[in-house]
């Protein structure tokens, strides 16, 4: 039985991250906006306002969450590239998902995601091996998070949310 919260499984990065891993994750980030757009194509208002699981976000909220989250990650990359182990700003994603813009037309977030990922890929492909060794500190855990690991996380994160939509469509016969 599929875990509706984690349809592709929980995030589990490799112990050793190689350049080949990073190139694949950059490709994943590059392709993710079109995958999400394809996943929601043809859904009507009621379908967009359907939770992907019991007590979960609606498809619409998921679509708006992805650029919220990925914008935060993009900024974290930039902080880590320009500051020495910065302490980043955390945000309450569950509260963000209840704000008025999370009920807006999904095209706003799909377009934002297209532009954000195009720009993010420019940054990611220009980074050196030593850049990927840089890190930031998460204020809630106090843990230092390397940019290679964060790249892996956001490759997974995009696929994770696309799968929320595609698995719901499959279950509902949409």
**Domain assignment present for 22:** no
Q: What is the C-alpha separation between 50 and 97, in angstroms, rounded?
A: 14
- Coil/strand/helix, residue 145: strand
Q: Considering the entire predicted model, what is its pTM? A: 0.96
Quote the crossing angle between the two packed helices 59-82 and 19-40, to the nearest 10°: 150
Number of domains in the chain: 1
Is there a domain that residue 92 lies in? yes
* 24 domain residue, yes or no: no
Its domain, for residue 154, covers 29-172
* Interval 129-145: pLDDT, tens: 999 999 999 999 999 99
The verdict on residue 95 lying in a domain is yes
CATH code of the domain in which 35 resides? 1.20.120.450
- Residue 128 counted as domain residue: yes
Query: pLDDT tens, 79-115?
Result: 999 999 999 999 999 999 999 999 999 999 999 999 9
In a domain, 1, yes or no: no
Is position 50 within any domain?
A: yes
pLDDT for residue 92:
96
């Amino acid at each position: 039985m599929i875990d509706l919260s984690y349809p592709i499984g929980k995030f589990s990065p490799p112990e050793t991250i190689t350049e080949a891993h990073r190139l694949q994750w950059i490709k994943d980030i590059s392709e993710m906006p079109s995958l999400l757009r394809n996943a929601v194509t043809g859904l009507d208002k009621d379908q967009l306002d359907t939770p992907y699981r019991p007590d979960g976000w609606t498809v619409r909220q998921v679509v708006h969450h992805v650029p919220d989250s990925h914008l935060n990650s993009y900024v974290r990359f930039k902080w880590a590239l320009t500051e020495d182990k910065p302490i980043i700003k955390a945000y309450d994603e569950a509260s963000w998902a209840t704000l008025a813009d999370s009920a807006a037309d999904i095209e706003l977030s799909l377009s934002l995601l297209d532009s954000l990922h195009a720009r993010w890929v420019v940054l990611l492909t220009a980074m050196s091996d030593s850049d990927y060794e840089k890190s930031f500190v998460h204020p809630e855990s106090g843990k230092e998070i390397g940019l290679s690991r964060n790249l892996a996380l956001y490759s997974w994160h995009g696929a994770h949310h696309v799968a929320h939509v595609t698995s719901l469509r499959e279950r509902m016969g949409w």
